[in-house]
Amino acid sequence: MESVQERMQRLGTKNKIAYFITKEKEPYEFKRRYARIRAEEFARECDGRGLNYHVSVGGLDSIVLFLFLHEVCGIDAPGVSASSLEDKSIQRVHKALGIINVPPLKRKDGSFWTKAKVIQEFGFPVISKEVAAKIELLQNPSEKNKTVRHAIITGETGAYGGWQKNSKMQLKKRWLELFGGYENETEGCDFRKPDFLVSSKCCYYLKEKNCDNWGKEHNSVPYLGLMASEGGRRAKSLRMNGCNYFGASTIRSAPFAIFGRQDILTLALEMDKLWKGDLKEKYRQKLLTDGKIAECFVMPDSIIPKIYGTIERQPDGTLYTTKAQRTGCSMCGFGVHMEKRPNRFDMLYKSNPKEWNYLMFHLCKDAEGKEYGWAKVLDYIGVGWDPTTIGGNCKGQMSLFDCENI
């Protein structure tokens, strides 16, 4: 059996990654031209294969991608989104752009998947997709995943992994101590394990699968607003496979793959300038003609959703958003352990205290029927969530009610 390392060597993966990383270091104008070339190349290839294409739209990055494709590349790709999961200000921009809102997936019992149902059945999305998927494997042991579970605890891989020691499969010490207890008996260790489930399945059931289904129904493949600089699984995949990928089971384009945060914010300002010119009225007239909005609908003044605030420059020229840096579902915990307070849950407390209360204390029920939520999970991983610990009770932190100033 060919090991992962042997396969990477055969495919020249290291050279591909090194070549990709050199492009990530290029200046903005190069990256902008490169993104256009790759986007147009993908469209031509899809046309030749008899495939349609669409833009998977969520937050700011993919909103910018949608406008870039339409207004710079001349690619008329419809936008598709599970918009109901996004912040209201994002939903408003989606509506102004004519984005197609894909409905939630149906469960076997005929009801729809919701945030609460996914978390109750599979577990909390915490730390990162990659780490959550590993913890989920530990929670669901089988003979088939025995070797992988061993690697997650020890870093030692089997034949397929090339008999590595200290591989990247191993959980970092912090997470091993909190979640490695599922293997205490098997591995002879003494780690802890929580009394709640962890899962990486939220995005799949709430966003990815229903948009994938739409794509299959319309013989369409996606443009994605992914950037390798965001790290995690996407970085590995993008650096190995490049902007455009035509695989046996997956076809996609990520024109912004070599972009960094400064690049996407620079392009966002360019697209916003077009919007504030004649683009807003152009989209309004098209939506009215197509019957997608009423006369009374007020088009947003900016394509930058209000949840992000505005894009400003630091004294050294670095661009930043004055509010949220990244967005996702209100109940998503991926990356929250890296945020300074006020974190995303603190901001939710200010903007929607009713939802905050539900997510914190009433999202799930344990075996005895007792309700619990994110408060329990955040306590376990050492992330603050109590509003009374911000400001005067949290040394060195700003007040929760200064959120609009960050």
Q: What is the pLDDT of residues 278-293, one digit of tens each?
A: 999 999 999 999 999 9
- Beta bridge pairs of residue 372: 364
Q: Do 160 and 14 have their domain in common? A: no
Q: Residue 389 and residue 8: Cα distance in Å, rounded? A: 49
Q: Do 232 and 365 have their domain in common? A: no
When pLDDT is cut at 50, 70 and 90, the band that residue 1 belongs to is: low
- Please write the tens of the pLDDT for every residue from 359-392: 999 999 999 999 999 999 999 999 999 998 875 4
Look up the domain containing 66 and give its range.
4-101+219-267
- Please write the tens of the pLDDT for every residue from 37-50: 999 999 999 999 99
Residue 330 lies in a domain: no
- Please write the tens of the pLDDT for every residue from 329-359: 777 899 999 988 888 899 889 888 999 999 9
Q: Which of 267, 284, 268, 276 is nearest to 98 (CA)?
A: 284
Residue 119 lies in a domain: no
The pLDDT value given to residue 236: 86
The pLDDT value given to residue 351: 84
3-state secondary structure of 112: strand
Residue 203 lies in a domain: no
Which residue in this structure is represented by tokens 């899809």?
46
pLDDT of 395 above 50? no
CATH code of residue 92? 3.40.50
Q: Do 343 and 401 have their domain in common? A: yes
Among candidate residues 267, 288, 304, the one where a domain is terminated:
267
How many domains is the chain partitioned into structurally? 3
Element (H, E) at 284: helix 280-289
Q: Residue 264 and residue 341: Cα distance in Å, rounded? A: 25
pLDDT of 162 above 90? no
Q: Do 229 and 96 have their domain in common? A: yes
- Please write the tens of the pLDDT for every residue from 168-190: 899 999 999 999 999 999 999 99
pLDDT of 405 above 50? no
Q: Do 92 and 224 have their domain in common? A: yes
DSSP 204-273: IIIIIHHHHHHHHHTTEEEE----GGG-HHHHHHHHHH-SEEE-SS-EEE-TTTT--HHHHHHHHHHHHH
Give whole-number Cα distances, 214 to 11, 70, 100, 110, in Å.
32, 20, 10, 19
